[in-house]
């Protein structure tokens, strides 16, 4: 039902946009015609009222049918990817080191320092990144993390430096925009919801490229030797 409502809402918005474009072209044509003919004729009040009325009616019908935030896993994955790209840009523009790390399985934080290998006490939070934008909501969290091919704890709030990958992890970009490690973050439903979607993976390469993929989970009845299937998104 929600999928149907969402599709109908988007269809109505497309209709609304098409009508607005059509009226815009119509008024533009009228104005050009007036200019060519040097006429005193203008757009009538009736035409303006009709346009505003139709736009208002379609917007009122379409707005309740749109379900914003209907895809928490996709939204969270895109939000984390966008923040990683932004912190890389800030690292290069401010010639500083920027890192992202977990504070919990559903909360990430972004900090800056002079160098990626600076001591823990030299890192400070960057006020330009709001905690709300780095919060994973609606049951979505860090399901798994690998750093340079090694599985690490997704996020337990403990930070003792990059040498302790068995406790937590971080991803740092230096002033040249290069990552200090190859990190694969798997985001998924951490509430054991049987109706949850397949998890999404976010991989950051040392050169700074961010790649997103959907991971098809292995069914319990699958034969031995099956592997995850990754589809780019």
**Domain chopping of the chain, boundaries:** 2-65, 72-232
Which pTM does this prediction carry? 0.62
Sign of the alpha-carbon dihedral angle for 117, 103, 93, 202? positive
Q: Residue 24, SS3?
A: helix
What per-residue confidence (pLDDT) applies to 84?
94
Residues of the chain with pLDDT under 70: 1-17, 20, 23-43, 58-70, 155-167, 192-197, 216-233
Question: Per CATH, the architecture of 72-232 is what?
Answer: 3-Layer(bab) Sandwich (3.55)
Residue 224's CB is within 10 A of a number of other CB atoms, namely 4
What per-residue confidence (pLDDT) applies to 45?
72
Category of 150 on φ-ψ map: left (φ > 0), alpha (ψ -120 to 50) or beta: beta
What per-residue confidence (pLDDT) applies to 47?
72
Contact 118, 191 (CB under 8 A): no
Contact 174, 200 (CB under 8 A): no
Q: Which helix (H) or strand (E) holds 213?
A: strand 210-216
Q: Residue 54, SS3?
A: helix
The alpha carbon of residue 157 and the mean position of all alpha carbons in its chain are separated, in whole angstroms, by 23
Please state, in angstroms and rounded to a whole number, the distance separating the CA atoms of residues 219 and 149.
24
What per-residue confidence (pLDDT) applies to 7?
45
What per-residue confidence (pLDDT) applies to 175?
94
What per-residue confidence (pLDDT) applies to 222?
41
């Amino acid at each position: 039902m929600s999928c149907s409502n969402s599709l109908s809402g988007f269809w109505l918005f497309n209709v609304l946009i098409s009508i607005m474009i059509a009226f815009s072209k119509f008024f533009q044509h009228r104005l050009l015609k007036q200019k060519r003919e040097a006429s005193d004729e203008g757009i009538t009040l009736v035409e303006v009222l009709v346009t505003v009325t139709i736009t208002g009616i379609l917007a009122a019908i379409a707005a309740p049918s749109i379900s914003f935030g209907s895809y928490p896993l996709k939204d969270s994955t895109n939000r984390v990817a966008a923040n990683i790209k932004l912190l890389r840009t800030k690292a290069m523009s401010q010639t500083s080191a920027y890192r992202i790390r977990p504070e919990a399985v559903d909360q990430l934080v972004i900090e800056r320092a002079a160098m990626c290998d600076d001591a823990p006490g030299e890192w400070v939070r960057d006020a330009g990144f709001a905690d709300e934008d780095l919060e994973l909501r609606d049951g979505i969290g860090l399901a798994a993390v690998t750093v340079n091919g090694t599985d690490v704890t997704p996020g337990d709030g403990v930070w003792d430096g990059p040498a302790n990958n068995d406790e937590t992890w971080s991803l740092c970009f230096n002033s040249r925009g290069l990552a200090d490690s190859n990190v694969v973050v798997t985001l998924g439903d951490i509430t054991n919801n049987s109706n949850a979607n397949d998890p999404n993976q976010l991989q950051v390469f040392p050169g700074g490229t961010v790649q997103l993929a959907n991971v098809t989970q292995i069914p319990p009845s699958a034969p031995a030797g099956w592997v995850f299937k990754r589809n780019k998104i």
